[in-house]
Structure 1
Amino acid sequence: MKNTLIKLACLLAIFVTFNLKANSDIVIDGNIETAEWQNAQVFESFIQSFPNTGEKPKYPTTTYLTTDDKGIYVAFKNFQPERSRKYSGHDQYTSADFNMVFVDFNNDGDTAYEFVATLGGGTMDGTYSRGNQSSRDWDGDWQVRVSEQGNYWYSEFFIPWTTATYQEQSGTEREISVFFHRFNVIDSQAYSFPDTNRGRKNFTYEFFPVTVNNTQKQSFRTSAYLTSTFDLIDDDQDNNIGVDLTWKPSANQQLIATVKPDFGQVESDELIVNFTAVETLRTDKRPFFTVNQSLFDVQGPNSLKLVNTRRIGANAESDSEQLHDIKAAAKYVYNGSNINSGVLLAKEDDVVKNDGKDFASFRWYSFLDQLSIGQLFNYVSNPINNRHSMVINQDISYRLNEQFNVSSNLLYSNNDDDIGKNIGKGATFKASYVPVRHWENNIEWTYLDKDLNINDFGYMQRNDISTLATNTRFNNYQFDAESALRREQFYGEYKYQRNTTGVTLRDNVYLSYLLQLKTKHLFRAGFEYTSEGNDDLITRQLGVAELPAQQEYHVYYSSPSPATFSFNTRADYYQEGESDWANKYEMNTTTYFTDSIRLNANYTYIDSDDWLIGNSDGQVKRYRRYLNKVYAKLIARLSDSSDITMTTQWFGLKATGIDAKNSEFAAGDDFNMSQFALQARYRKKFDNGSRFYLVYSHNGFDDTQEEDISFTELASNAIANPIQKSIIAKINWVF
């Protein structure tokens, strides 16, 4: 009996040791072995979330989750006989099947991290905060691999605990919440667990809670950057060295500091043709400003954004052709049991003497059941004009239930410079009501007085405005089995505006109808009507212009995807001036030469008989214009760890002033404009998260006033007259 007990004890010890080793030795290779995942939690109750019917999926999905002291491991087992393996690069639209993992480390709905793996080898990541406020700017340190066998394909994720800060908890267990999503591209269907989707306003609050081991280890990480820039125009070389330090002293704290950070340009911005008074809002992929940034990402209606990090290191006011370097920046984030808080600091280097700005942002955020409340304080010191800017935002949101939620911002700005002091105030309100899964209703109200200005650190389209907008979207999926229809969508939007001095601005109505067939062909038609009346934005808010009623009609078609060649096209017939009409055509194509080589191309053409532009003096001028715009991006996957991307962009614009006797507006001076950009980038990824880049950039500009110049000549002039031509070699090494 004694010998038997000893043998049983030995067998039990061997069994426990084997299981511990299996759990701690998970290899991220895309192969799901029984020994690795036999003790994992299993999730199989997926529903169809696109089309959003809530029905049982066509194909089964099994997801596994387990944890150890290093992080969270998730694996997908996807049954699917016919599959798509198109490569998409990082953070690029994909035509391949893919799996998605969302993790809320606190199980409170405040911030969820998104991880995406495609069967073609591409990846995406991002964050969702406070419902469905999404950002693709964040790039995290995580691993994934995919594999195939028979009628199944698999994906294996590793998400380190160092990805986020999270509340400290006592005991050996803690709760996180998760959302798993799979997209079957061949059938254009999505399957999800639990029953929610990214379009829902309460998305992050509807994850599934999971109990895991409580890990609260500290960590320290260093990233060093070495960038060499060879200026091929001035025959000059510039070398920069920078360091990022990330210290996580406990589970709920993180300190990030950077000196001469990695702001070498390796992601090219899209060329924007913008002659309106509304500034273009650009995203930010710079590593320091994407890590743990969701706490500071406070937004409102009409693209209102309280912290726009592209303001830091932007073009110098004293020399608009140069960018500010950044001397140093630091960010501290604290994640408490009832309150989250953080501070962001940055100091620009000077382009000329004493023109670098100082930035500071402090944010706290508290949540209690269905109520969330927070404040944000921004401060910017600008030596130009001795300007000091302070902005305070109070935000609050309340989730009554799964169908109804509301949120609001109260804004205050105090801007003081050599000209004087301006104190501005504003408020926003948003409400969403989703009575059933396929019907969504929203209403938004915004009031921003004429002295409110948050643009030293934030972004707003304009001030001196009061807006009331409402929209509704209804999807219908109920069709007979014999029907060729798969989905139809009805959308309507109405917007009423006036400025804060009581001037009634123009109303706007937009209606659209979308139809998708079971063959995956998609059609949409839309109509927009803007009433006659006052427009103070076209004059740069330096007066009011009386504009007539304007209409716009558009049709859109998208071909089935995935395919070796797919496309979508849109045609617009619209008014953008006093009386005459404009035509706009846009074509987007995707061509796969192989699963690993993809070409995206876009062509846009505008022919307008009547175009109105406001200038900085508040005058509105009338033109006839022609625009050609071309975009092409070639992505080639060389291996699992390397790829090449080549991006080419060009636009050419020709505008001729229109002098009409009965017109309210004078003819503008004729002008031409052409801009060209080319970037070729090689990227190599290493197993420890390090990166190497080799980038060639060529940017050209031409604004010749030559009459009767062709678009071919405009393009040639822009290419032949570069304003920037360089080779950048950069290594980002992680220790």
Structure 2
Amino acid sequence: MSMFKQVFSALGLLVGSTLSYADVIHIDGKLDEPAWQSATDFTTFYQVVPATHEANENKVNAKVLASEEGVYIGIVNFQPIGQRKKQFNLQDGFMQGEFNRVYLDFSGDGSGAYLFATTLGGGKQDAVVTPQRTTDTDWDGDWESAFYEHSEYWSNEIFVPWDSVSFSTKLDAKGDAIIGVGIQLYDLKSNNIFSNQKQTIGNSDFFLNMPKIEVSIPQQSQLNFVPYVSYQHHFEPRQDKTHESDVGFDLFYKPTHNQTLSFAVNPDFAQVDSDDVDVNYSAVETLRTDKRPFFTQDLSVFSISALQDTKLIHTRRIGAGSDDKRTLITPIDAAVRFVHQGKRAQWGAFAVKENSLDSGAGKDFYAGRFSYREANWQSGILATYVERPFLNRKAKSLAWDSQYQDDRWSIQSAVLMSQIDNLTSQTGNGLSINVGYQFTPNTQLEGQFLRLNRHFDNRDMGYMKRNDWQYSKLSYNHAVNVGNDWLTRIKHTLDISYEANSEGLKLPARQGYRAQLMLNNGSQWTFHLDTVRSGWQDNIGANSAPFVQPSALETRVLYQSPFTGEFSWAASLELDQEGLSGDAIQLALDMTWMPHANWNIKFNNYFREGDGWLVATQQNQLSEYDRTLFINTLEASALIADNLEFSGTLQWSVLEARTKGVYDIENTGLRKNTGLDTSFEDTRLMSQFKLRYRMGAYSDIYLVYRRGGAHQERLEENRVGQQSWLESAKANWTDPIENSVIFKVRYLF
């Protein structure tokens, strides 16, 4: 008997052909319960990165088993102890140990899936996979995992309860449900990926060819009650408050697997984690993520496929700053949501009411979604409505989106409309089309087109980079599997784009070539060569008129070391032309030290210096700066004890901008305005130290300390940079804007 069969015999994993209800299984990673004997077995795994599709019987073996409670996945990875790496990571953090990915399509029809990933070391990731094959890690699910180590292999055991997700079952002739199961091993040493199917999520036929299994899913109802209590003490008063306390609850009721009713009173809409330092002087808003449970559940139902991050629902708008600008976070009085996922039709709706405050500056948010799906295509409508009484403003948006996918083609489209009723009524529209064709698993061609007219406005609840915009892009990807002694794969990417506004003005557009080399030792080299063609810059900010921006050439080299060992690093060098006549150099260095399997310390440095940084300092006034930007981030995370996690972040930035020239934007072009000095400094600091004790899904105890500051000052050019960078960080620490401690408890009943 081979070693691999001996291992499975020792684990009690005998080959089975049908999936049936199982006895209770203890999640310990060992896979030694007799119930595993009736599981469905996957013994052939294909190399999908690089996509050689070589079949392997000696890399991974997996089992899938169902019970009345949920689905179990057992995975045995044949990596000897000297050829594998054990490392813990925080929830949804970057994985630097060997890990398995599991994709579960509970509906079995490609209408969406859930991703569950777990490392050798106990790190976890989970995400929603949309029908467009994009992943959103904001979702956090109720599931369990454990790993086990042997000298010749390591194993993962994963359990996902049926009631942790919403789905509509697809039944076969026998009345059993059909679900899709994709299982992968990421081999850290080689950067290779092995899968039980020949497709990755980057292939258009990923869902179509996902292995299917038959399961018997009991009809169950579920009621979850999640109360929370929080207390904050501000050592530096925040909006004249030295302390704040809050209490509320979320109620989730699932009469069946495909329906969920969510109701919340004073819901837990405050995020524990701080946002990163954001040094953004452009006219494009920074897109933030959202981890609040009310919005992350059933996320894929409300997803539409519009390009350039265009969204009708950007949940960070809800509970954000009040319309009277007196509060940064607006309390939520109540929220309700209902989702139904049928065999063909899906629909859902939610409503959120903010506290009106004394001034009536709260907002009300409403959204509704309906979609219909057949074998390879899907089409639906999403509508949103926002009332803002303080501004006497009402905002509506509507999207009709469609999707088609087969083993070659991938097509997504969205027709967008908006209407703003304020003193007058303004109606806008847009169109998004994305067409991809897969010649082979290693060769793809993709075309994109986005048009948003000047009156399109979805920002009351949604997000867009800009309106008055026409964007087109053609992208060609081709990978060559080399497979010699030192080089595994070369991946070529060629991008050609064109941009204009609704008046036909040609905007600066990027054309680029990228080559990625994957080496046998697990390291990677990436080379970029981009050119930004000359065009009219009409989105510099401050409602300024357009001006002609010259062409620019950009080059970048990136090296990523192997992830094995206690230390890994990545470094990049970028040389650019920028602004009107300037040049810039950009350096980045990421270092990760893992002194223990449960500890992770990351050190990131970003530096950019150039003499062509353009900023609109007021309407129709353009400043070009000699700019130095430095951002330093130090992160530490650790598993201190079972279920007790520590994380700490210290991030500080220094921006020094010395005036090179000030220009008035006129119809005839740029006119230099002599004698003006708009020089300034911008320094910021953010720190957070968090203890989290996990009692279970949606059951945690948090203790968090935050401290940070920011300082922006207009200075004469000769005074910029006189203070050392460490002194500026010290000043923001000793004179903070935020200095708070937070205690929070939530528990799932």
What is the TM-score with the length of structure 1 in the denominator?
Answer: 0.94
Aligned residue identity for 1:226: V
Question: What is the alpha-carbon distance in structure 1 between the residues aligned to residue 656 and residue 327 of structure 2?
Answer: 24
The Cα RMSD (Å) is 2.0
User: How far apart are residue 168 of structure 1 and its match?
Assistant: 5.5
1:401-440 to 2 correspondences below 5 Å? 401-418=406-423, 420-440=424-444
1:574 aligns with 2:576: yes
Runs of 4+ residues over 4 Å off in structure 1: 19-22, 168-172, 660-668
Change over 3 Å in CA distance of 1:349–1:299 after alignment to 2:
farther
Corresponding position of 2:181: 178
What secondary structure, in the 3-state scheme, does the structure 2 residue paired with 1:593 have? coil
Aligned partner of 1:13 in structure 2 is none
Please tell me whether residue 715 in structure 1 is matched to residue 729 in structure 2. Answer: yes
Q: Check if 1:690 corresponds to 2:699.
A: yes
Distance 2:209 2:339 in 1: 25
The answer for the alignment partner of 1:546 in structure 2 is 548
Inter-partner Cα distance in structure 2 for 1:670 and 1:716? 22
Separation of aligned partners in 2, 1:59 and 1:271? 46
C-alpha contact (below 8 Å) 2:644/2:691 kept by paired residues: yes
Which residue of structure 2 lines up, in the alignment, with residue 329 of structure 1? 335
**Counterpart for residue 9 of structure 1:** none
Please state whether the residue corresponding to 2:301 is helix, strand or coil: helix
Residue 48 of structure 1 deviates from its aligned partner by 0.7
Indicate whether 1:190 and 2:204 are aligned: no
Query: Quick one: which of 467, 471, 474 aligns to 1:463?
Result: 467
Amino acid at match of 1:378: T
Deviations 1:577-600 (A, max 9, x none): 111201111111111111111101
Q: Deviations over 1:524-575 (max 9, x none)?
A: 2211111222110114554211111111111111111122111111111112
Select which of 321, 324, 329 maps to 1:318.
324
- Residue range with higher mean Cα deviation, 527-536 or 238-247: 527-536
> In the alignment, what sits opposite 1:7?
none
Give unpaired runs (5+ residues) of structure 2: 1-17, 664-668
Shift of 1:664: 4.4
Structure 2 CA distance for aligned equivalents of residues 249 and 660 of structure 1: 64
Distance 1:128 1:249 in 2: 24
Deviation at 1:52, TM superposition (A): 1.9
Matches within 5 A, 1:266-281: 266-281=272-287
SS class of match (1:295): helix
State the AA in 2 paired with 1:717.
A
The answer on 1:241 being equivalent to 2:247 is: yes
Letter in 1 for 2:177: R
**Post-superposition offset of 1:169:** 6.7
Matches within 5 A, 1:89-238: 89-167=90-168, 172-234=175-237, 236-238=242-244
Q: Counterpart of 2:32?
A: 33
Could you give the per-residue CA deviations for residues 300-356 of structure 1, whole angstroms, max 9, x where no partner exists?
111112211011011223226621121111111001121000001111124551011
Aligned partners of 2:27 and 2:440: how far apart in 1? 40
CA distance in 2, matches of 1:660, 1:620: 6
CA, structure 1 residues 292+20, in 2 after alignment: closer, same or farther (shift >3 Å)? closer
C-alpha deviation, 1:516, in angstroms: 2.3
- SS of 2:578's equivalent in the other structure is coil
Pick closer, same or farther for the CA change 1:352–1:277 going to 2, 3 Å.
farther
1:627 and 1:74 mapped to 2: Cα distance? 47
- CA separation of 1:376 and 1:582: change in aligned 2, threshold 3 A: same
Q: How many Å separate the matches in 1 of 2:304 and 2:618? A: 30
Cα 1:668–1:250 shift into 2, 3 Å: farther
Q: 1:715 to 1:725 in 2, by over 3 A?
A: same
Identify the match of residue 256 of structure 2 among 246, 250, 261. 250
Whole-angstrom CA distance in 1 between matches of 2:426 and 2:477: 40
SS, match of residue 558 in structure 2: strand
Q: 2:556–2:574: 8 Å Cα contact kept in structure 1?
A: yes
Q: In 1, are the aligned partners of 2:271 and 2:291 still within 8 Å (CA)?
A: no
Tell me which amino acid in the other structure corresponds to 2:407: E
**Is the Cα–Cα contact under 8 Å of residues 20 and 67 in structure 2 kept in the other structure?**
no
Q: Is contact 2:396–2:419 with CA below 8 Å preserved after alignment?
A: yes
Aligned to 1:370: 376
Distance 1:22-1:136 versus aligned 2 partners, 3 A rule:
closer
How far is the alpha carbon of 1:616 from its aligned partner?
5.3
Could you tell me how far apart the structure 1 residues matched to 2:545 and 2:618 are? 11
Deviations 1:53-93 (A, max 9, x none): 11124842111111111111111111110211011111011
Report SS of the residue matched to 2:730: helix
Q: Tell me what 1:12 maps to.
A: none
Cα distance in 2 for residues equivalent to 1:665 and 1:631 = 38
> 1:225 aligns to what SS in structure 2?
strand
Relative distance call for 1:489 and 1:338 in structure 2 (3 A) is: same
Q: Which residue of 2 aligns with 1:450?
A: 454
Matches of 1:713 and 1:320 in 2, distance apart?
32
SS of equivalent residue, structure 1 residue 466: strand
Three-state SS of the structure 1 residue aligned to 2:121 is coil
Residues 594, 109 of structure 1: CA spacing in aligned structure 2 closer, same or farther, 3 A cutoff? Answer: same
Q: Which residue of 1 aligns with 2:346?
A: 340
Secondary structure of 1:195's counterpart equals coil
8 A Cα contact 1:423 1:452, kept in partner: yes
User: Is the alpha carbon distance of 1:540 and 1:215 closer, same or farther for their aligned partners in structure 2, counting shifts above 3 Å?
Assistant: farther
Aligned partners of 1:131 and 1:205 also within 8 Å: no
Residues 538, 545 of structure 1: 8 Å contact kept: no
**3-state SS of the aligned residue for 2:109?**
coil
For these two proteins, the number of residue pairs brought into alignment is: 713
1:474 alignment partner AA: H
Report whether the alignment pairs 1:560 with 2:557: no
* Equivalent residue in structure 2 for 1:655, among 640, 654, 657: 657
Q: Deviations over 1:633-674 (max 9, x none)?
A: 100111231110001111011111113799745455111111
Percent identity of equivalent pairs: 27
TM-score by length of 2: 0.92
SS at match of 2:236: coil
Offset of residue 622 of structure 1: 1.4
* Residue of 474, 478, 482 corresponding to 2:478: 474
Structure 1 residue runs without a partner (length 5+): 1-18
Partner of 1:583: 585
Report the equivalent of 1:14: none
Whether the aligned pair in 1 keeps the contact of 2:208 and 2:407 (CA below 8 Å) is no
The equivalences for 1:657-676 within 5 A come to 657-659=659-661, 664-666=671-673, 669-676=678-685
1:213–1:379: structure 2 CA closer, same or farther, 3 Å change rule?
same
Q: Once the 2 structures are TM-superposed, how far is the Cα of residue 150 of structure 1 from its aligned partner?
A: 2.6
- What amino acid is aligned across from residue 48 of structure 1 in structure 2? Q
1:726 lines up with 2:740 in the alignment: yes
